[in-house]
Structure 1
Amino acid sequence: MLELLNEEKVFKDPVHRYVHVKYKLIWDLIGTKEFQRLRRIRQLGTTYLTFHGAEHSRFSHSLGVYEIVRRIVDLFEGRKEWDDKNRMLSLCAALLHDVGHGPFSHSFEKVFDLDHEDFTREIILGETEVNQVLRQVDQDFPRQVADVIAKTHDNKLVVSLISSQIDADRMDYLLRDAYFTGVSYGQFDIERILRVMRPTEDQVVIKASGMHAVEDYIMSRYQMYWQVYFHPVTRSAEVILSKVLHRAKHLYKKGYKFKLKPVHFYSLFMENVSLADYLRLDESVAMYYFQLWQDEEDTILRDLCRRFMNRQLFKYIEFNPMVQLKDWRRLSDLFEEAGIDPNYYLEVDSSSDLPYDFYRPGEEEERLPIHLLMPNGELRELSRESDVVEAISGKKRTDHKLYFPADMINDLSSHRKAKEKIKEILHLK
């Protein structure tokens, strides 16, 4: 029997109204230093530079995912397809699914070739407070939780609660990100979706009568990706952030003497990151260095940090490098000629999304489709019943932008010919 708290704890939440905690195990996990660290990591990275309200954290999102799963398993209780012995496994996996995220998440991962899922597993299985709490259930429980998050657990139904095309993770981040960015695109009827969810042996399915609520959810996700997650201004900030990190790493490897030794970055620069090093680095630490690096002797690092800290971002134009390869090479040469390092001031960024797909065996990422439970008990793949979803199924949309410092180009005085040719290619006035 799992130990209950003396009284239920609640977190006031702007999305779900309340997050309810009645198990001591969950309360103890929330109190671990590894989970509390998520308060210092934004859910949406650099998006706060585009949507000023987007200051919410991985901590609040993780609580939200936990709350949705808590509500789902409460609804499943008593159904023959659901074994309530999996309740705590589901709740812990929901709560901890993002515990391995680092500062600015995906930007850091790309520069330093990291994977937050690896660190999530290390936190759950390693010598951490999280692991100590999980082992209160039994010695194998941390591995069970890690396997659910990694999508390798034998119980596919529990995995689908956390990782599928209609899971608690996606439902929370769409609603939460829409709330904090102030947009309406991410809104959908979560109450309806939860009411029509049904457990099967392998996954959660949706009663056919709830199809329109799911259509709304999928279109909300589509709109959020293109209006918020792939916003070109946010991507400009990400480009500059990645250039800051690349420059700092390059300088360190060259033996450059920083005014303040970037000790928190040493293991990242040396590509030998321990879990302890990783956990010491959060966004408050990273921003401290960026603030100080504005006064470094290196002109490129100084300028990039000034741009990031003061939101003086790169401009952008539509640009497909596959089609405009000659322009790309010419721009790179002209930047060199004008004394602007193209490695740090010229970047093509591409974003793509596949809003919904059905099962395609053998492809790079096999996606478990959403199934509708028909009145006769048959399962039907969603796009076979929904004209709306069928219209976007399997259709990958990609957007390319070229980012550059328009102010530096306009300020060129001693390289007038190069300046004019650059402006012509970039269609600058």
Structure 2
Amino acid sequence: MLVDSFPLQRLRRIKQLPGSEFVYPGAVNTRFEHSLGVMHLAGIMGESLTEDRDSISLLRVAGLLHDLGHGPFSHAFEGILREYLGISHEEMTSLLIRGTEISEILGRIGFDPREVVDLIMGRHTRRSFSKAINSSIDSDKMDYIVRDSYHTGAGYTVDVHRIASNAVEIGGDLAINFRALEAVESLFMARLLSYRTIYYHKTSRGVQLMLEMAMREIVSKLGIEVIREDPSAFLRLDDYYVWELIRGDERSSWIAERLMRRELLKLVWEEQGVRLRPDLIDEVRERISKLCGIDERHIIIDAPKIEFVGGELPKIAREEEVLELSEASHVLRRLLDMDPSFFRVYTWPEYRERLREGLKNATRRGVDLIC
């Protein structure tokens, strides 16, 4: 019943990796199959943590529903969701579970919607269960790393079933058996590489920025203001519906036209390991505009806040010892200290060379762009 519900079927029309298909043609997987995969891995973790079949089913249900709140074009919508509703996609998920047919279906099959929400939000009273759904090594991250690697052809191999089947509960908390340590190392290595080659690939990211720009142009047509009172209104917002809105509105159709012709935003400048505060972005854009003589409208700054660890870290259990990940492995100690953050400057193809030369000249003169 849950799988056939409209909120879950909507995820067939939400791409997992919007923009990545411009780099990797096979990256057209959706949030729907990802949700099925998370359900599967959550069940394996549950079977390793408990023998209680109802508890295992609860974990599977939470894994299945965890992504209901993703907006059109997935993470490209996240900034709009936060700005106009002040919530994350996880919080949107909780609104949908409690405010749509999902709540009734859960009650019919013997689950408390509030308990499912607590699991997804990482605040369930049984911490090991919460962390199986929401932590740095959870069923969600394990699924999307291997699934996205497969669809892009990146080829990162992680034995996620070994990790999931070696989940143990110690003191009510989640830990991973030492036997799966090498698989955990592979998971974090694949995550780091995926940030660079998939999730924040310069071209994929450029497309995501264009989609976000287009959606902001037509935000008045999305009906966001009524979603908090009527969460079901959110369900009409999928990739197909919003794409047609973008194409049909003169404020955004030029962006759709560029996307269809693959006239994408171009990366002009990049600095790795830099965290630029969001409140400084307008100031930096203005500085670059003055340095290069290009209108601010054509200068797009990309400095996302990247949380590489991605949640609470479980411990490693070795016989009678309970170790921190960094204690258990020098590889993990190095990986967990890495910062994949960056500062990028994009522009349209027609301004690319002019902006690039202006920035080069500025740096030759010792000008710090983000000081």
TM-score, structure 1 as length reference: 0.74
Q: Does 1:133 align with 2:84?
A: no
Corresponding residue for residue 58 of structure 2: 89
Q: Report whether the alignment pairs 1:241 with 2:211.
A: yes
Counterpart code for 1:268:
I
1:197, distance to aligned residue in structure 2 (A):
2.5
Q: Distance in 2 between matches of 1:164 and 1:34?
A: 24
Q: Alpha-carbon deviation of 1:305?
A: 2.3
Aligned to 2:266: 315
**Which range moves more in the overlay, 107-116 or 128-137?**
107-116
Give the distance between the partners of 1:247 and 1:61, measured in 2 at CA: 30
**3-state SS, counterpart of residue 29 of structure 2:** coil
Paired position in structure 2 for 1:347 = 300
- The alpha-carbon distance between structure 1 residues 334 and 210, as it changes in their structure 2 partners (threshold 3 A), is closer
Mapped contact 2:46–2:56 kept (Cα < 8 A) = yes
Query: Which runs of structure 2 are paired with 1:28-177 in the superposition (5 Å)?
Result: 28-78=1-51, 83-112=52-81, 113=83, 114=85, 115-126=88-99, 128-138=100-110, 141-177=112-148
Determine if contact 1:291/1:309 at 8 Å carries over to the other structure: no
Structure 1 contact 157–201 (Cα < 8 Å) conserved: no
* Amino acid in structure 2 at the alignment position of 1:184: G
Q: Which runs of 5+ in 1 are unaligned?
A: 1-27, 253-261, 358-366, 411-419
Q: Give the aligned partner of residue 8 of structure 1.
A: none
Distance 1:119 1:423, change over 3 A: closer
Q: By how many angstroms is 1:66 displaced?
A: 0.4
Q: Partner amino acid for 2:235?
A: L
1:258-289 CA distances to partner (integer Å, 9 max, x unpaired)?
A: xxxx5xx2x23789773232111110101112
Structure 2 matches for 1:285-324, cutoff 5 A? 285-293=241-249, 296=250, 301-319=252-270
Change (3 A) 1:194 1:328: closer
Structure 2: which amino acid aligns with 1:278? Answer: F
RMSD value, Cα: 2.9
1:308-329 Cα shifts (integer Å, max 9, x gaps) = 2332111112246969999843
> What is the one-letter code of the residue matched to 2:331?
V
Task: Verify: 1:373 aligned to 2:344, yes or no.
Answer: no
Kept in 1: contact 2:98–2:114 (CA 8 A)? yes
Listed one character per residue, the Cα deviations across residues 176-196 of structure 1 (whole Å, up to 9, x for unaligned) are 0001111113x2122332343
- Structural mapping, 1:208-219, within 5 Å: 208-219=178-189
Other structure's SS at 1:400 match: strand
The whole-number CA distance in structure 2 between the counterparts of 1:385 and 1:231 is: 31
- Bigger Cα Rg: 1
Paired amino acid for 2:358: I
Structure 2 residue ranges without an equivalent (≥5): 362-371
Q: Percent identity?
A: 28
- Structure of greater relative contact order (alpha carbons < 8 Å, 6+ residues apart): 2
Q: Please list the CA deviations of residues 202-231 of structure 1 after superposition, one character each: whole Å capped at 9, or x if unmatched.
A: 333222232122111111111111111111
CA deviation after TM superposition for structure 1 residue 349, in Å:
0.2
Per the alignment, do residues 105 and 385 of structure 1 end up closer, same or farther by CA in structure 2, a change over 3 Å counting?
same
Aligned length: 351
Contact 2:168 2:176 in 1 (8 A): yes
SS at match of 1:205: strand
Q: Distance in 1 between matches of 2:215 and 2:120?
A: 29
Aligned to 2:366: none
Contact 1:104–1:283 (Cα < 8 Å) also in 2: yes
Matched residue, 1:17: none
Match of 1:197 in 2: 167
- Contact 1:156 1:201 (8 Å CA) reproduced: no
Q: Does 1:400 align with 2:343?
A: yes
Distance, in Å, in 2 between the alignment partners of 1:204 and 1:324 is 39
Aligned-pair CA distance for 1:133: 0.9
Counterpart code for 1:135: G
Q: What one-letter code is carried by the residue in structure 2 that aligns with 1:133?
A: I
* CA gap 1:409/1:68 in 2 versus in 1, 3 angstroms: closer
Q: 2:13, 2:239 within 8 Å by CA — same for their partners in 1?
A: yes
Check conservation: 2:263, 2:349, Cα contact below 8 A. Answer: no
